Structure formats: C-alpha cells, structure tokens
Structure 1
C-alpha cells in the first residue's frame, strides 16, 4: 500500500526495534513514528493483485524461483516499510529464510501510487529502497497509466501503449502497461 500525505500517527512511543520484532498489520515505521498505511482504493488493490500474480506466474514459468509478496515488511537503512509488491530472489531466501521482517529491502519492489501521494515522498522512498538493497523499484501510477522503473543507473518511463520490462531483477519479465493498469 502507499502512504498518503496525511497519515494517522498511532504511536510515538513505538521503537523501530519493536516494529522489527512484531510489525503491527497495516503499519510502517517512518521517521520515528508508527504510521498506519492508508490511501488504498479498489483500483490500487486491483493493480497490486495483478502485478503480484504476474510476477509470481513469471518466476514459476521461467524457473527463476524466489517468492513474491504483498505488504511484506522489510527494513531499510532508516525505516520499517511494507512495499505493495515485492520479489525475493532464491539466493536471499536461502540467506535469510523467512524472518518476521526482511532485514533489507527486497531486490524488486513495486509501489502503487495514489492520487494523494506527494512526488517528493515517492522519489525519496524509491531512493531509500535502492540504498537499502533494492536493485529495481517500480512506481506504478494507475490514474495516469505510467510506470517508472528506477534503479541505481537509470530511470525509465513506460506509458499507455507500451510494454514495461524488468531491468535488473526477474530478467525477461514484461507486461503491457494497459494490461496491468487497465
């Protein structure tokens, strides 16, 4: 889920360490506060489910293995996050197993952007993921039918009528922007 600009603070006495041990459902730990994620619409949920299904089906059909998650908690260098969709490689699954919270960002992450999200926050979040172990972040804009794929070396924009492709993780995956968002 995406965090909307106005977030409900549900506790200021909750530490990152507490969140990492047992993250309350539907929360992220951001800037020293436990925040409830909000801003989810039916369209957001539909796109999230479709992308998770596409990534899962592709990793199975291609034999690449790994696992696809939705709303799975991970730790970045600064925060406790729950990306909308995330892919964990077989190598990292073997290294970490399945802890309560992944101790780094997932290698491939997608965030579904809501109309109330602020551009500065979205860009900062994608950079936070990349600085914490992600190799590729998808920013999916359902209302505009845009998908921005970000990695450490490039930023690519895919629009309606185009095919979006993974760049660094889950090699060979592609889907029409209109099929995913439409």
Structure 2
C-alpha cells in the first residue's frame, strides 16, 4: 500500500513536468462604432477559435471581448491584463465590421502572436475572399467554425515555429555555459 502511494505521488509530481503544451491568451477586438454590444458573430468566432486551439493541444484562456470604434485605450488595457496572466503567448485578433450595413459583415481580420513581453513574433491579415466565403454559406455558423479552425492552424503553426526557435536558443545558451 505504501509503495502504491509513493508511486502515485511520484507520478503526480513528474507528469506535469513533462507536459509540452503551449499556453496562450486570446484577446478579441471588435472594431465597430455602429454598436457598443458584442456581435454574435464575434462571440461565435471567439468560441470556435478557443475550441480549435484546445482540441489542438493548447492551453487557452481569453480576455473579455473588446468593443471599440477607433480608440485603442481599452484594447491596450486588455493586452496589459493578458500579459500579466502568465501565459506564454498573447494572440490579439482584430475584427472589423462593415458599419454601413445592418448585417454582421466582416470587412477585415488581423491577428498577431505576441510574447508576454509584447514582442511581435508573427502577424497576419485574412483576405476578404476568405472572410466572405466563411459568412456567405447556408449554414453561417458552420462557416465561421471552419474559418476559425483554419485560422487556428495558421496561428498555431506560428506559435510552434516560435517555440522551436526559443528551444534552440535555450539549448545554445546551455551549451555555452
């Protein structure tokens, strides 16, 4: 009985040391001066993006969705909060809506991968045809989920690439000592 207890205790101590999951915080910014509310499409994109990252083996957290017109004060405040969260990466996703139309139409989507020191590791802009293809389907929810999954693959690849660079740098430093 005592051996079994020691074995279980040793496993509980050692298993977390071998986890290799990358951690990130998603900060969604909705640039839309026509409303102060978070649009349902934004919530769906955030949920789908978090689900995709989680299913791909990432540890994911999020900040509340930032709704802003042209100002960046609230966005910067949420970035600072995300930086204090202790996650390895911060992923701001900025969604711009067409304010002239009543329907939720994405105009532009930009993303970045930041370190928790706010160094930019990678960034990208999703072109309009991909955005319109995601929304102009019979099942818009399925289109947004598929779009979020593809976006996660792109961002996830950038994070994994950066993790490999960091690993090589740390190995080089350990060899120099």
The interval holding the TM-score normalised by the smaller chain is 0.3 to 0.5
Whose helix fraction is larger, Structure 1's or Structure 2's? 2
TM-score scaled by length of structure 2: 0.40
Higher RCO structure (Cα 8 Å, ≥6 apart) = 2
Whose strand fraction is larger, Structure 1's or Structure 2's? 1
